[in-house]
Amino acid sequence: ARRCEIDELDQLARTSELVSLIGRLVHALQRERGMSNMFLASHGGRFADQRGPQIAECMALEQEVRAGFDQLEADDHRGAGAGHSARLFSRIAWVLPGLDALPALRRRIDALELQPAQSTAAFAKLVAGLLSVVFEAADGATDPEISRLLVAMFNFMQGKEFAGQERAFGAATLALGRSNEAQRVQWLHLIESQERCFHVFTDFSSDEVLVLWRESEADATMAELERLRRIGTTLAAAPDAQYSQLSQDWFDCCTRRIDAMRRVEDRLAADLR
């Protein structure tokens, strides 16, 4: 019985480490997605120099995540990962083609062959796959304390992903200087989706983590975010050049917020380990 318990905890430790790695990769991909949207919306005028180092960071983290996937498979072959579910491996199998497709996606972005919305959708699909691996890890945890932490972390990561999508979506919309009803509905949907995820996160988090979360939501950043949200969701259908200058302000504001979220995510990962 003690051996089985130790094996289960060893497995949870490895899975938790993988979840932490996935969080770091997702954060890097979210930043790359935002830069790529600004690059495409400005026809190559913005973030041309910053994308290279960001892509290199993503590639390094991708290799670490792939090594983590390989380790889970090796554990399973040795019988050390008997508790890993078929669903978890299915999610991983679904993610790998998305990782394989990244070089081609980046080449198309470099060549300005995509619209910002197409780039966002491609990155969002990959991130959704990575988060589904985290979800399965949370769903498969048997220890109540570990399960609670994984649920909090998954919902926080999902909320942060919606914040990342909002950053990319808003940057492209403001760069164009115009909006329509469908875009306004999409923007509001991204805001509401974040709030739902963060509500679940707060229900499952410790008081210490909630204090850090409240501290991360800086008043000045949130006030600027709300101001730019109001502008973005009330743009006219006709392009207005004065608003396109706000796209960089929006990107910077969202980046400050998301980077602060990353510190909360790091704390969740540390608590999990």
* Residue pLDDT tens, the chain, 273 long: 998 888 878 877 888 888 889 999 999 999 999 899 889 988 888 889 999 999 999 999 999 999 999 988 877 666 555 456 788 889 999 999 999 999 999 999 999 999 988 999 999 999 999 999 988 877 767 778 888 888 999 999 999 999 999 998 888 888 877 778 888 899 999 999 999 999 999 999 999 999 999 988 888 899 999 999 998 888 776 666 677 678 889 999 999 999 999 999 999 988 888
Q: Residue 60 has what pLDDT?
A: 97
C-alpha 234: how far from chain center: 26
Q: Residue 77 has what pLDDT?
A: 66
Let me know if 215 is exposed, middle or buried by CB neighbors in 10 A (0-12, 13-18, 19+): exposed
Alpha-carbon span 186 to 170, nearest angstrom: 10
Q: What is the pTM (predicted TM-score) of this model?
A: 0.86
Tracing tokens 């430790």 back to the chain, one arrives at 13
Q: Residue 117 has what pLDDT?
A: 87
Alpha-carbon span 37 to 167, nearest angstrom: 9
Tracing tokens 């120099």 back to the chain, one arrives at 49
Q: Residue 79 has what pLDDT?
A: 57
The three-state secondary structure class of 139 is helix
